[in-house]
Amino acid sequence: MTRHALPQGMIRAAGIAGPHEGYMPGFGNDFETEALPGALPQGMNSPQKCNYGLYGEQLSGTAFTAPSHQNERTWCYRIRPSVKHTHRFRKIEVPFWKSAPCIDPDIISLGQYRWDPVGVPADQKLTWITGMRTMVTAGDVNTQTGMASHMYLVNASMQDEYFFSADGELLVVPQEGRLRFCTELGVIDLEPREIAILPRGLVYRVEVLEGPARGFVCENYGQKFMLPGRGPIGANCMANRRDFKTPVAAFEDREVPSTVTVKWCGQFHETKIDHSPLDVVAWHGNYAPCKYDLNTYCPVGAVLFDHPDPSIFTVLTAPSGIEGTANIDFVLFRERWMVAENTFRPPWYHKNVMSELMGNIYGVYDAKPKGFVPGGMSLHNCMLPHGPDKGAFEHASNEPMVPVRQSETMSFMFETRFPQHLTPFAAQAGHLQEDYIDCWGSLEKKFDGTPGVK
């Protein structure tokens, strides 16, 4: 048995040295990397015979004829072609991982909702697959529109088990614990304050490095995540391309009974093979997994007056067919300075055509100082009003107008143009805060008909 995936010190890559030995910097780059010298063909994609007896194979993330600036594909040079990585399929049940549309007529999704953190059960063995808990779904997986939001609860590594989703890419946001994603294109270690993007069709195994592990997942059925346009902001700030890290090539040559689970059109299927499918020795292309350190996000905000729209904090966006209206926006609220003068500094009250699902990674969110705790989530569906509770409103209305550092806070939002429907788990598992709607009940009428600010 030859094992090349771990540890990362064993990984070899073309052109990588120093601090990026295990990763290559850049977002959407055309990378090339090899785990054995000479494994990657030069000057062509499909030689008559590949070095080391490898098979050449293309993994396409877009249609062949997609515009060149959107076209994504990767050439893989692997020990076996991927047709050897699946056999006859058997349908299986993964009861808590749901796909859109998942609409229960007995569940009311119209409303403002908030959840306490979901604990990782100590008496159950939960892997990446069995520990996924879907909270909301939106759109339709069969038409490749919309998304689903999940919590993952993981306390066990996948042992000779592998997974890929044909339904969409996964944006992974850890909140507790550390995971290792052993993918066919390399190894990603992931911890809180980082995120990872796992492309549609990518085969991988998830191992627990430090557990139990809990976090959030956005399953994107539509167009791939991309960096938002910066417009007048220019070439810098927000999320910079160089801070995204793509793993270098690593492979396994292991002949051992293995299971591959595939998610396809919301259904799960299992197939048995006699080897590890993580056998890509070299690859080149721009369709690959990556990770990103949220601490490198450079926020831009108001330096004189008014709180800007939350879209100013967008890290990634997945476009829809409507210009400027996203299938999904991933928005980050991290530490930053608040300096706006004569301004109500927290997010203002509003109703939105978009549906907003938020998660707390750590700390206190300024618009909800109580109740929205790390590991918790909230949902404000489209055209449902929301905003600060009374405590946040009174503090922001009367605080001294001096620079204040918003510290020890990191929350995020999965925002979509589609209504988000609660799953039975989200509605009935006991983590829903039944009194959340009451957080606005103590807001007072201040109008008295006389001019001037009260």
Catalytic residues: 307
Among residues 78, 433, 386, the alpha carbon closest in space to that of 249 is found at: 78
96 within 8 A of 133, measured Cβ to Cβ: yes
The answer to whether 190 touches 179, Cβ cutoff 8 Å, is: yes
Nearest CA to 301 out of 320, 291, 288, 314 is that of: 314
Rounded CA gap, 174 and 166, in Å?
A: 22
Residue 280 backbone dihedrals phi, psi, to 5 degrees = -85, 115
Residue 287 in tokens: 């369709």
The owner of tokens 């339904």 is 167
Of the candidates 412, 411, 402, 385, which has an alpha carbon nearest to the alpha carbon of residue 343? 402
Q: What is the C-alpha to C-alpha distance for residues 343 and 83, in angstroms, rounded to an integer?
A: 60
Write out the DSSP string of 105-152: TTS---SEEEEPPPP--TTS---TTTTEEEEEEEEEGGGTEEEEEEEE
- Give per-residue burial for 127-141: e unless 16+ CB within 10 Å, then b: bbbbbbbbbbbbbeb
> For the chain, how big is the Rg over CA atoms in Å?
23
162 close to 259: Cβ distance less than 8 angstroms: yes
Backbone angles phi, psi at 321, to 5 degrees: -80, -5
Assess contact for 118 and 375: CB atoms under 8 A.
Answer: yes
**Residue showing tokens 């038409």:** 143
Q: Are 287 and 73 in contact (CB under 8 A)?
A: yes
**Which residues 6+ apart lie within 8 Å of 29 measured at CB?**
241, 246, 286
CA distance 100 to 418: 11
Q: Are 93 and 132 in contact (CB under 8 A)?
A: no
Nearest to 275 by CA among 248, 255, 289, 295: 255
- 122, exposed or middle or buried, with CB in 10 Å at 0-12, 13-18, 19+? exposed
